[in-house]
Amino acid sequence: MTALLENPTTGRLRPGFEGNNISFAIGFKHISYLAEAAVLHHFREAGLSAGELYRRHGLGFDVVDVHSRLGALLAVDDEVEAQVTPTTKDGEDRLRFKVEMFVERDGKRVKCAGSTVRVALRIDDHIKAEEPWPAGLERFATARLGTGERRDVAATPLPYGEFTAGRGTTADPVLAELVGDTNAFGWRWRMPYFYCHFNERVQMSGFLRIMEEAEDLFLADRGLAIKQVLDGRGWIPVVTQSRIELLDETVMEEELYTVYTVENIFKSLLYTHRMDCYVLRDGQLVKTATGTITHGYLTETAPNQWEMADMDEATLAALSTPRKAAA
C-alpha cells in the first residue's frame, strides 16, 4: 500500500486520435482521459492493476471525481509525461491523486494540463473475490458509489420509445419541470452499454462524453451550432477547465436527465455551465452526477495559429437568453 498511497509515479502517454477534432489540437475530454490513464498506470506500478483488482478481489476501479485545467495546447502527436502524486489524506475513504502533464516545446518542458482525480473501489456482487483485499485497502472499498440527492417530481415522463430513439429528446414534462425559467437546456437520453463498465454502471469517461454532447446540443438549440459558427465566424469552442463528480450510480440503459445551466459569462471571453444529471427511481429524481465546464472560443488568426475570440453581441445574447423547455 505504500507504493499506492505514498510513492509518485511517472508514465509516458499519448492522447487518443479521436480527440483531434480541430486542426492538430486535442479536445478537453481527452485531457481527463489521460489523467485517468495516468492513475491507472500508477495502480499498475503499485501491483494493483484494475483488471486484477476486479478479478482477484472483486473491486471495481471507479473514477468518481476529475477536475482538469488546460495550461497549454496539447497536440495530436505529443508524448505526454504524466506525473502522478498521491494526495489521499488520513481518514479519507476515496483515493486522491494530483496529475501533472508535461510536453516538450522547442526543447523546453512545458506543463500542458493538471488534474485532480479521486477513485473509489466499488465492491462488485457480480463475481466472487478469489482473494482477500490487500491490507490497507478496506477503507476505500464501498458497496455503492455515493447516495445522490433525491427530489420529488410532479411531472410524469413521456414514454421514451424504442432503443433506436437516436439522441434522446429535449421535450419532456420532467425536463420542463427541472429547467423551469432558468437559463438552462434539458436533455433526456438512455445510457448505452458502451458508456458503462463492470457490467452495470456509467463510468467517468461516459459522463465526460455526456458533458460534451450536452454542450453540442445546447449550442445548436441557441442557434450557435458548432459547424455553422466555425464556417461563418471562424470560431471553435475551447475548454479551459472542467470538473465532474459522481454522486450516485447511473445504471446501463437508465434514462438520464441532463440539465445544462449557464452560470456565468465573463465579459466577452468565457462562459461557464453547470451540468446536473438525474435518473428517475421510484417516482423520485436521484442526482447521480454534477459538474462544471468553462468555455470560450478560439479563432484562427493565421494557419494553425489560434487566439481567444471576443464574443459578439449576438452570441452573448444567445447564451444569456433562457429558452423554455418543451413539455
Cell 465573463 maps to which residue? 266
Which residues have a Cβ under 8 Å from the Cβ of 252 and sit 6 or more positions away?
A: 191, 192, 193, 196, 199, 200, 201, 202
The CA distance from 249 to 2, in Å, is: 30
What's the whole-model pTM score? 0.95
State the pLDDT at residue 149: 87
The CA distance from 300 to 306, in Å, is: 4
Going 282 to 288 to 292 to 295, the CA torsion angle's sign is negative
State the pLDDT at residue 190: 95
Give, for 150, the enclosing helix (H) or strand (E).
Answer: strand 150-152
Name beta bridge partners: 66. Answer: 117, 244
Q: What one-letter code names the amino acid at 46?
A: A
Q: What one-letter code names the amino acid at 74?
A: L
Dihedrals φ, ψ of 172, to 5°? Answer: -165, 140
CATH numbers and ranges of domains, the chain: 1-143 (3.10.129.10), 144-327 (3.10.129.10)
The string of pLDDT tens digits covering residues 55-114 is 999 999 999 999 999 999 999 999 999 999 999 999 999 999 999 999 999 999 999 999
Q: What one-letter code names the amino acid at 22?
A: I
Identify the CA nearest to 236 among candidates 75, 17, 22.
Answer: 22
Which residues have a Cβ under 8 Å from the Cβ of 297 and sit 6 or more positions away?
A: 229, 235, 236, 237, 238, 308, 309, 311, 315
Report yes or no: 94 and 19 within 8 Å, Cβ to Cβ.
no
Cell 494553425 maps to which residue? 304
Q: Grid coordinates representing 73?
A: 495546447
Cell 435518473 maps to which residue? 279
Written as tens digits, the pLDDT of the chain (327 aa) is 899 999 999 999 999 999 999 888 999 999 999 999 999 999 999 999 999 999 999 999 999 999 999 999 999 999 999 999 999 999 999 999 999 999 999 999 999 999 999 999 999 988 888 899 999 999 999 999 988 889 999 999 988 766 666 789 999 999 999 999 999 999 999 999 999 999 999 999 999 999 999 999 999 999 999 999 999 999 999 999 999 999 999 999 999 999 999 999 998 999 999 999 999 999 999 999 999 999 999 998 888 788 999 999 999 999 999 887 666
**For the chain, what is the mean pLDDT?**
94
Going 293 to 42 to 58 to 92, the CA torsion angle's sign is negative
Identify the CA nearest to 87 among candidates 109, 111, 102, 65.
Answer: 65
Identify the CA nearest to 203 among candidates 56, 50, 99.
Answer: 50
Which residues have a Cβ under 8 Å from the Cβ of 300 and sit 6 or more positions away?
A: 23, 234, 306
Q: Grid coordinates representing 109?
A: 518542458
Name beta bridge partners: 152. Answer: 284
Q: Grid coordinates representing 126?
A: 457480480
Give me the helices (H) in the chain, please. 2-5, 28-45, 50-57, 173-179, 204-221, 226-233, 313-320
For the chain, state the CA radius of gyration.
21
Judged on CB neighbours under 10 Å (0-12, 13-18, 19+), 119 is buried
Identify the CA nearest to 282 among candidates 186, 161, 162, 151.
Answer: 151
